[in-house]
Amino acid sequence: MELIVNSAPVYVATGGKEFDPKLPTVLFLHGSGGDHRTWALQTRWFAYHGFSVLAPDLPGHSLSGGDAFTSIEQSGSWLVEFLEKASVKKAHIVGHSQGFLSALELYKSKPEMCLSICAIGTAAAIPVNQALIDTAKESSAKAAHMMCNWGFGPGAHQGISSVPGMQPIAISRAIMSRNPLAADLQACADYLAGSEIAASIKAPRHCILATADKMTPLRSGKALAEQMGITPTILEGFGHMLPLEAPRQTLAALREFIQTVQNESA
C-alpha cells in the first residue's frame, strides 16, 4: 500500500494481506541501503497468522519517494507520523541494523507506541569506516559490493539459499546499488545516542545476533543485549544479513518473542 508521509509517497509492504490496523501490528525497519524485500520471508508469516504488517521502504529507498534521512534522529519523528498515518497506536517494532537505531529513536519520541522492540544483527552504535562512506558517495554500487562482502556470512558466500535458485548476495547488491547508501551510512556513523536509549527501554525487548557478523560484531551485539537487560538469541555461523541469509531461523526467533509478548499482553 502507499501512504503519504511528510508530503512524500511511502511504499509499504503488508505481507500479502490487506493492512488492518485493528490487528496487532508488526513494523519492520530495514537497514542501510535496504528495502521491504529484506523481510520477504518474515512478513508473510505474520500477516497470515493474526498480525498486520507494515514494512516500509524508508524515504528515498526503492519504491518510496522523498529524501533519505540525514540523521537517525530524523527517523524517529518520521516513524511517529508514519504510524499515525497508518492509524496504528502501538506496534511491535523489528529493526535490522540501521533499522534498529531508527526503532530506538521511535521509542525515545513515543515509547507508548512500542509494544515491543526486537533488534536484529545490530548494535547500539554502528561506526562506519570513512572509506566506505566515501566510496558510497562516489558510487552506491561500489559500496554495496564492499558491504555484501562483509555483510554476508560463509553460507551465503558459498551460494547457499533458502529459496531455490536464488543468490542472496546478488539480490542485496542489486537493491543497495540503487539506494542512498551514503546518506544511510553517514547517519549510522554519526549516531551516538543508542546506548542510552537502549538501556532505558521498558517495553519487552529482544536481540537476534549472529556469530559471523562482521558489520556489527557479536561482541557489540552482546553489549547491546546487556544494556537492554536480555539474553539474546545467537545464530551460529551466520553473518550480518540475518533476515536474508537465515530467514527461517530469524523468523522462528521473532515468532517466539512476539507471540509471547502478544499472549502476555492479551
**What residues make contact with another protein under the rule CB under 8 A?**
11, 13, 16, 35, 37, 40-41, 44-45, 48, 62-63, 149, 155, 157-167, 169-171, 173-175, 247-248, 251
Question: How many angstroms separate the CA atoms of 35 and 173, rounded?
Answer: 12
* Nearer Cβ to another protein (40/80): 40
Q: How far is the CB of 90 from another protein (least distance, A)?
A: 24
* Nearer Cβ to another protein (154/229): 154
Question: How many angstroms separate the CA atoms of 19 and 166, rounded?
Answer: 28
Q: How far is the CB of 67 from another protein (least distance, A)?
A: 20
Question: How many angstroms separate the CA atoms of 30 and 63, rounded?
Answer: 13
Question: How many angstroms separate the CA atoms of 195 and 123, rounded?
Answer: 9
CA 87 to chain centre: 21
- Residue whose entry in the numeric block shows the C-alpha cell 508488526: 26
Q: How far is the CB of 55 from another protein (least distance, A)?
A: 11
Run of H or E including 116 = strand 114-120
* Nearer Cβ to another protein (106/251): 251
Q: How far is the CB of 100 from another protein (least distance, A)?
A: 22
Pairing outcome for strands 25-29 and 91-96: parallel
* Nearer Cβ to another protein (40/234): 40
**Of 49, 110, 32, 111, residue with least CA distance to 254:** 49
Run of H or E including 5 = strand 2-5
Q: How far is the CB of 93 from another protein (least distance, A)?
A: 21
**Of 22, 93, 13, residue with least CA distance to 258:** 93
Question: How many angstroms separate the CA atoms of 65 and 190, rounded?
Answer: 24
- Residue whose entry in the numeric block shows the C-alpha cell 497506536: 89
Q: How far is the CB of 20 from another protein (least distance, A)?
A: 16
Question: How many angstroms separate the CA atoms of 89 and 24, rounded?
Answer: 10
**Of 172, 183, 209, 231, residue with least CA distance to 72:** 183
Pairing outcome for strands 8-13 and 25-29: unpaired
Q: How far is the CB of 143 from another protein (least distance, A)?
A: 14
